[in-house]
Amino acid sequence: MKSQITAIKDYTIGSIDKRIYGSFLEHLGRAIYEGIYEPEHPKADENGFRKDVMELITDLNMPAVRYPGGNYISSFNWEDSVGPIESRPTRLDLAWKTRETNEFGLNEFITWCKKTNIEPMYAINLGTKGIDSARNVLEYCNHPSGSYWSDLRIKHGYKDPHNIKMWCLGNEMDGEWQVGQKTAYEYGRLVNEVAKSMRKFDSSLELIVAGSSSDMMSTYPDWEREILENSYESIDYIALHKYWTNYEKKTSSYLSSNIPLQDYITTVEGTINYVKAKKRSKKNIKISFDEWNPWYHTREIATQNYLDNNLSDWPKAPPLYEDMYNLLDALLVGTVINTFINNSHILKIACMAQLVNVIPAISTVKNGISWRQSIYYPLYFASIYGRGVSLKLKVDVAEYSSDIADNIPYLDASAVLNEEENTVSFFLVNRSENESIDLNFNLYNLEIKNILDQKLITHSDIYVSNTKDNPSAIIPQDNKSISLIDKKIIGSIPKLSYIFLRVKLL
Ligand code: AHR
């Protein structure tokens, strides 16, 4: 199959906010305990943080991590997670039916972020809590000294303020599973007042309102309209969430999932613009896609065997949702990241959900190894090489229809121009189950000096995963199928595969 990718240097979509390559850590399953924190592990540092896991995360140059939930935050008291560890209460977490010792809490998270060079994104409880709790945690974290909460932080051993800029105001408040679920009006009003109070403390905070839990919710997209109508001038971002499944093993359909994803983003962008116009506002609200990933390998089993049962024992950090991702999941992730890059004018934050052990990019064994899942790699290439300005691509290639979309190009692509380094990186996914695709590039004002790098992710077994016994089943390989001939890039991409290509400009 033939294809042609056309790009023009000045024809750009937007400048990429590096935080679109963020992730998420929740007090869920073994994400924290036995994930990033395991004091008894041979590779634990003086804080009990697993150094092997920190290395895999710093390799990603991870820009931001959302914490501590998710559904977890909606019945969480942040005060339980600070102070001397031996005095912290053990609580029963209603979201995941887990016993939470609070051994790892807010200040440990900030220390961990500093060590991994990550910007924290802190989520607050608007399920069982409200304005008072929000202003207290903000004062605890960000006020230098001389007030009750800031002095308490200092007493806890943290002299300098944490200066957390990004705050998620509640989580999935439209969901019937959420502790303290609200109507759009109730939540929109609450968020507005919480945000106004937080801004009295610091007007430069970046505040995120929770949009629909997904585009499949019956209240979507009216939820977005109503919460924005009630909070537009007080917040900065609206959150989108989306998880994908491939239960039926329908490859062509699964790999077309980023077509409806584009509709989801376009619809929310339209809703933002509608409310902006209605309010005669000058403010531009942006999108924070702060939960996204494939999620299906272990979901039903965990829910049936665990969450739906009345447990007499509330275990600490049980293994939950420990999906082992395959090649198709990595390809899907490649297309989702392409969509984020291709919407960089409006989409400024995104968090792969999640980072460690729970629907993870990285898995760990208690007292044992840690390894990268297949989905780690497309995030890695984009995070390391996808910083700069996104180029608007015209991709000419054959198309197909699936049960969820029409006009699906077999080749999915994005490109990022890095003017400082004078490079362009291309991220390509071939969705075809049968054919490789010939690649031809028509680039204007982008004269290529040489090819710097090309990597390929593919496998003869599309369902193979990286596991503890075989942690390198799917890893990127050096690729040789693309060359520079007479100043033109030409080559091919095999069926069902991902290619990262980086070129130097003259
Ligand atoms: O990431 C797992 C869960 O998915 C989060 O806690 C919740 O926000 C979403 O439903």
Which DSSP category does 305 fall into?
I
Atom of ligand 1 at shortest range from CA of 72: 6
| DSSP output for 451-485 | EEEEEEE--SSTT-B--SSSTTSS--EE--SEEEE
- Closest CA relative to residue 5, chosen from 496, 491, 504: 491
Residue 439: what pLDDT?
A: 98
Cα–Cα distance measured from residue 255 to residue 354, given in angstroms and rounded to the nearest whole number: 20
Give 299's pLDDT tier (boundaries 50, 70, 90).
Answer: confident
Give the whole-angstrom CA distance, residue 307 versus residue 284.
40
Q: What are the backbone angles phi and psi of residue 137, rounded to the nearest 5°?
A: -70, -35
What SS3 state is found at 276?
helix
In this prediction, residue 265 carries a pLDDT of 98
Mean pLDDT for all residues in the chain: 97
The residue whose CA has the least distance to atom 8 of ligand 1 is 70
* Ligand 1 contacts CB of residue 127 (under 6 A): no
What is the distance between the alpha carbons of residues 458 and 45, in angstroms, rounded to a whole number?
A: 36
Which residue, 404, 309, 308, 295, is CA-closest to 26?
Answer: 295
With CA atoms as reference, report the closest residue to 1 among 304, 283, 409, 336.
409
Residue pair 236/209 in contact by the 8 Å Cβ criterion? no
Q: How many CB atoms lie within 10 A of CB 300?
A: 11
Q: Which of 66, 125, 217, 243 to mutate to test the pocket of ligand 1 (most atoms within 8 A of CB)?
A: 243
> Which residues are designated catalytic?
172, 291
What's the pTM value of the predicted model, to 2 decimals?
Answer: 0.97
Q: Tell me, using a 6 A CB cutoff, whether residue 354 lines ligand 1.
A: yes
Query: Is residue 71 in contact with ligand 1, taking CB distance under 6 Å?
Result: yes
* Extended strands (E) in 172-246: 206-210, 237-244
Contact 290 CB / ligand 1 (< 6 Å):
no
Q: Rounded to an integer, what distance in angstroms lies between the CA atom of residue 133 and that of residue 195?
A: 12
Q: Note the pLDDT of residue 274.
A: 98
What is the Cβ-side half-sphere exposure of residue 269, based on CA atoms within 13 angstroms?
A: 13
Tell whether the model's pLDDT for residue 480 goes beyond 80: yes
Counting residues of the chain whose pLDDT is more than 70, the rounded percentage is 99
The mean pLDDT of 133-139, rounded to a whole number, is: 98
Per the CB < 8 A criterion, the answer to whether 61 and 36 are in contact is: no
Mean pLDDT of 458-480: 98
Q: Is the CB–ligand 1 distance for residue 171 below 6 Å?
A: yes
Q: What average pLDDT score do residues 434-447 get?
A: 97
What's the pLDDT score for residue 301? Answer: 75
What is residue 219's DSSP assignment?
A: T
**352 in contact with ligand 1, CB cutoff 6 A:** no
What is d(CA 159, CA 248) in angstroms, rounded to the nearest whole number? 53
Asked if residue 291 has its Cβ within 6 Å of ligand 1, the reply is yes
Strand partners, 391: 12
Q: Per-residue confidence at 307, pLDDT binned at 50, 70, 90?
A: confident
In the structure encoding, which two tokens stand for residue 50, read together? 């697993």
Helix (H, G, I), strand (E, B) or coil at 26: coil
pLDDT digits over 393-415, tens only?
Answer: 999 999 999 999 999 999 999 99
d(CA 172, CA 213): 5
Whether residue 244 contacts residue 332, with contact meaning beta carbons closer than 8 Å, is answered with: yes
Do the beta carbons of residue 16 and residue 341 sit within 8 Å?
yes
Nearest-CA residue for ligand 1 atom 5 is: 70
Residue 360 CA to residue 375 CA, distance in Å, equals 8
What CA–CA distance (Å, rounded) separates 48 from 54? 11
Name the pLDDT band for 302 (thresholds 50, 70, 90).
Answer: confident
Residue nearest to atom 7 of ligand 1 (CA): 70
The pLDDT value given to residue 442: 95
Best residue for ligand 1 mutational test, from 24, 30, 66, 71 (most atoms within 8 Å of Cβ) = 71
pLDDT at position 351: 98
C-alpha torsion sign, points 58, 59, 63, 64 = negative
* Contact between 56 and 357 (Cβ < 8 Å): no
Q: What is the CA radius of gyration of the chain?
A: 23
Q: Which atom of ligand 1 is nearest to the CA of 26?
A: 6
Task: Quote the pLDDT of residue 165.
Answer: 98
pLDDT at residue 8 greater than cutoff 90: yes
Confidence at residue 56, expressed as pLDDT on a 0 to 100 scale: 98
Rounded mean pLDDT of 281-293? 98
